[in-house]
Structure 1
Amino acid sequence: MKETFELIATAAAGLEAVVGREVRELGYECQVENGRVRFWGDKKAIVETNIWLRAADRIKIVVGQFPARTFEELFQGVFALDWENYLPLCCKFPISKAKCVKSKLHNEPSVQAISKKAVVKKLQKHFSRPEGVPLQEVGAEYKIEVSILKDVATVLIDTTGSSLFKRGYRVEKGGAPIKENMAAAILLLSNWCPDKPLIDPTCGSGTFCIEAAMLARQIAPGLKRSFAFEEWNWMEDELTAQVRKEAQAKIRTDLKLDISGFDIDGRMIEMAKKNAFAAGVDQDITFKQMRLQDLRTDKVNGVIISNPPYGERLLDDDAIIQLYGEMGQTFAPLKTWSKFILTSDEQFESLCGQLADKKRKLYNGTLKVDLYQFFGQRMKRQRDAPKQTE
């Protein structure tokens, strides 16, 4: 069985550097590429990155790479890989995904079928099974993916299962909520830290607030969920239990956080409270039904993060114009507060009446969005560690 693996943490476009920083903070050297971060690690690395990465989508094992200009090259390339080091007899091994970009091979169903045939033949040979007898696929699942870019095939196994954005705390959600890993990434891109007040004035089901509390308290985002690798016979249960125990021990209980979420819809506020309770951070967040234009505060050096309704999430153009105008007017007096607004509306700056200090292009699923960043005026404040509870 292999001791070291070439691994990939996949990421939404524009968030690769955030994921790269997280991987390095876990102690792994990495290479940031388009849509992914490549690194090497052992079995513990597979467990740690799945449990700890906040902004990534999935962790995948790179089984191999090779030229694939013809279907024969594809077959032979897949067959040559060391499948016996990954797949036990009787496991399920679907070719769950094939993607071909700028390549001579472009029929993705055929790529899946030929890759599957090659893996079957390799396992039949390794386990001395007759070619005419099909392999039983009744055990744990190892989802295989084949990606062909510019005639080079990369073959991967997904270790994660359900995407990493599924933390397990979202009991209920409203229409088109922001994904948890996108919310976490925006918090990591912002200048918020746990000793600053944080407000989400359009909080919906509470994702930004919950992710902020989890980040501040160092609660590993994957602590309460399961992963595909946990069913694999070569991943020791004791190792996963050890990493979870270490993560549990790192949770900070000595913080007093100032996080608030407001929404005009009372039903969303009730959802947000349920989700925060499920995440174990309900005591850290104040949720309240309130109109955006009623937001007032005497606090300084805070951070506002918002994913307001836009595009498909709110079809009424007049309502969008009114909302963005209200945002500009409401936020204007908050001179020392930084604001981070995520929207696909390219007219946002003109509608809110202020030019952003910085704009970052991201993708919310397939939808191109921009993170508008308005930095507050710096005001002297106590630069101590976050306040301790009494």
Structure 2
Amino acid sequence: MKKTVKLLATAAMGLEAVVAKEVRALGYEDVIVENGKVMFEADLAAIPRCNLWLRTADRIKIIVGEFEAKSFDGLFEGTKALDWEQYIPEEGNFPVIGKSVKSTLFSVPDCQKIVKKAVAEKLKQKHGVAIQMPETGAVYRIEVAILKDIATLTIDTSGVGLHKRGYRVGQGEAPLKETLAAALVQLTNWKPDFPLIDLFCGSGTILIEAALIGQNIAPGFNREFASEGWELINDQLWENAFEEAEQLANYDQILDITGSDLDPKVIEIAKQNAIEAGLAELINWKQMNARDFYPKRNNGYLITNPPYGERLNNKEEVSQIYRDLGETMRQNPSWSNYVLTSNENFEKLYGAKATKKRKLFNGFIKVDYYQYFGKYIKKD
């Protein structure tokens, strides 16, 4: 049985460095960062810990092997040569998905069938099964990903994507993924003792993720994972991971977090999501126009994802929102502002050049994360 594994944390474009930082914070070194993925070797305990704690990764996968595959025979033999029996027991259910980019083997359905057959042959041989594998047990979803003729074979440990925290019971028209929302918070230097607001809070995702970060609550604490039923990872490792998450949570941390929006319907959705996340008492919700923002405290943080072109058809309305936002925040110079938008004229409309700008993706939309640092006012 395996004692260590090579793990792959998948990430949205632009968030790889954030995911890598989270992996290192969990104590795992020798991290390799590439486009859309972060790779590292670790013990088996890393599988439950990473699934529970990584706020910005999409999935955690085990890398079973990599090899060149320019022919179907090569794909079959390369797959069969891998030690699948170390991961998948005799009754394991192993569906196969796939993708191929810039490769000789471009037919994904054919690649999936070949990998399925090769894995089945290897497992039959190792488990002593005569006819076919029963596949009546836990799910071990295999992915064959071929990039420039290099095949990477992985097994998904997460099941449903890690952005599915389990608290979103409702959503607005264009909700952020929870993983991106968490990244927006982590890309600031906000700390739990500073006030935080989202003036266009929608379904509340940014603020719910901020509250989880503020109280150091593991984002996966209230959901299930595919690998919880695996023989590879004994129950004690999962129990230890959940106990660690419970011990590290700081439920006594006081937070000053507010969400506002002009639409009362989305405010109600945000409230319900916060209740589902167990954060009902930690976030204040207001129906309010962004122009009416008058904070009671200095040195706060605005983190927001206001409407932009792809999300709101009325371009002039969007432009006015940005103008109003810029004017509002100039009246509060001690506040730091972080704004996500795809509008290339944002800085001109906002009325100030960003201190820093970072390119990200909101789904398939290219966006920029504009960062304006406030002028800190010392407390009396």
TM-score normalized with structure 2 length = 0.97
Supply the distance in 2 between the matched residues of 1:371 and 1:73 (Cα, whole angstroms). 44
**Structure 2 SS opposite 1:313:** coil
Match of 2:117 in 1: 117
**Structure 2 SS opposite 1:282:** coil
Supply the distance in 1 between the matched residues of 2:170 and 2:235 (Cα, whole angstroms). 31
Match of 2:356 in 1: 358
Match of 1:297 in 2: 295
Match of 2:72 in 1: 71
Match of 1:142 in 2: 140
Query: Which runs of structure 2 are paired with 1:209-358 in the superposition (5 Å)?
Result: 209-358=207-356
**Structure 2 SS opposite 1:245:** helix
The 8 Å contact of residues 2 and 232 in structure 2, kept in 1 or not, is answered as no
Does the alignment pair 1:9 with 2:9?
yes
Supply the distance in 2 between the matched residues of 1:311 and 1:121 (Cα, whole angstroms). 52
Give the fraction of aligned pairs with identical amino acids, expressed as a percent: 51
Match of 1:87 in 2: 88
Q: Which sits farther off after the overlay, 203-212 or 231-240? A: 231-240
| Residues 196-239 of structure 1: per-residue CA shift (max 9 Å, x gap) | 11010000111111111110101000001000001212322222
TM-score normalized with structure 1 length = 0.94
Match of 2:378 in 1: 380
Flag as ranges the 4+ runs of structure 1 deviating above 3 A.
none
Cα shift at 1:381: 4.2
Q: CA RMSD in A?
A: 1.3
Match of 2:103 in 1: 103
Match of 1:200 in 2: 198
Give the total of aligned pairs. 379
Supply the distance in 2 between the matched residues of 1:50 and 1:253 (Cα, whole angstroms). 21
AA of the residue aligned to 2:70 = R
**Structure 2 SS opposite 1:124:** helix
Cα shift at 1:136: 2.0
Cα shift at 1:311: 2.9
**Structure 1 SS opposite 2:310:** helix
Cα shift at 1:135: 2.4
Supply the distance in 2 between the matched residues of 1:227 and 1:68 (Cα, whole angstroms). 31
| Residues 218-263 of structure 1: per-residue CA shift (max 9 Å, x gap) | 1000001000001212322222122111211111133221111001
Match of 1:20 in 2: 20
AA of the residue aligned to 1:193 = K
| Residues 246-298 of structure 1: per-residue CA shift (max 9 Å, x gap) | 21111113322111100111111111111111112221111111111111124
Cα shift at 1:359: 0.9
**Structure 2 SS opposite 1:252:** coil
Supply the distance in 2 between the matched residues of 1:254 and 1:195 (Cα, whole angstroms). 12
Unaligned runs of 5+ in 2: none
